[in-house]
């Protein structure tokens, strides 16, 4: 969805920055593209770019945890079990909420398979978002397909469920919805 939203924003005349991790998708033209590989790099790029943005749309799914220790050498096989200790990554949207100005909008995405509306509303509130897009994955929507099915959730409003559409259609519809929020 991130690439479709960036392309739609650019097509609609927006000055667009796409921050992207490794993917097999070709970066759209006509916008600033920042390549990252880690959640830490994503956080630094978002925090740097956000101060000049009217709207941040976080369609990414950054890692919630990272290995606690960096090991440079090969870990030899011993036949014993190996435990990997993980530490939480910083919550980028919570950091953004601390520096967000009144004239800036933040939009997040939530991929939920259970209790979608309730979990998305919780995320909306916890992260101080203006809007959250609930992804409903399935055979014909979400990852590895050009179509998606989403529900738009804003504070103090009833959820708006959109029918299955192409990611391009949903991106344009979402941006029109966001435009109406300004």
- For 78-126, give the DSSP string: -SS-----EEEPP-HHHHHHHH--TT-EEEEEEE-SSSHHHHHHHHHHH
2-61+91-179 is a CATH 3.40.50.10300 domain: yes
- pTM for this entry: 0.88
Three-state secondary-structure class, residue 35: strand
pLDDT tens string for the chain (182 positions)? 999 999 999 999 999 999 999 998 888 889 999 999 999 999 999 999 999 999 999 998 788 899 999 889 998 999 999 898 999 999 999 999 999 999 999 999 998 888 999 999 999 999 999 999 998 776 776 666 788 889 999 998 999 999 999 999 999 999 999 999 87
- Which residue ranges make up each domain of the chain? 2-61+91-179
């Amino acid at each position: 969805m991130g690439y479709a939203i960036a392309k739609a924003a650019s097509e609609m005349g927006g000055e667009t920055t796409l921050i992207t991790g490794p993917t097999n998708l070709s970066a759209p033209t006509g916008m600033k593209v920042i390549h990252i590989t880690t959640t830490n790099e994503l956080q630094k790029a978002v925090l740097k770019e956000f101060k000049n943005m009217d709207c941040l749309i976080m369609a990414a799914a950054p890692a919630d945890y990272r290995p606690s220790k960096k090991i440079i050498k090969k870990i030899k096989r011993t036949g014993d079990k190996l435990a990997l200790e993980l530490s939480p990554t910083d919550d980028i949207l919570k950091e953004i909420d601390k520096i967000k100005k009144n004239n800036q909008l933040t939009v997040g995405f939530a991929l939920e398979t259970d209790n979608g509306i309730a979990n998305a509303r919780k995320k909306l509130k916890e992260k101080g978002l203006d809007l959250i897009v609930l992804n409903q994955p399935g055979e014909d929507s979400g990852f590895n397909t050009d179509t998606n099915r989403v529900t738009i959730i804003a504070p103090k409003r009833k959820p708006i469920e959109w029918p299955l559409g192409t990611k391009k259609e949903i991106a344009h519809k979402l941006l029109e919805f966001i435009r109406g929020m300004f």
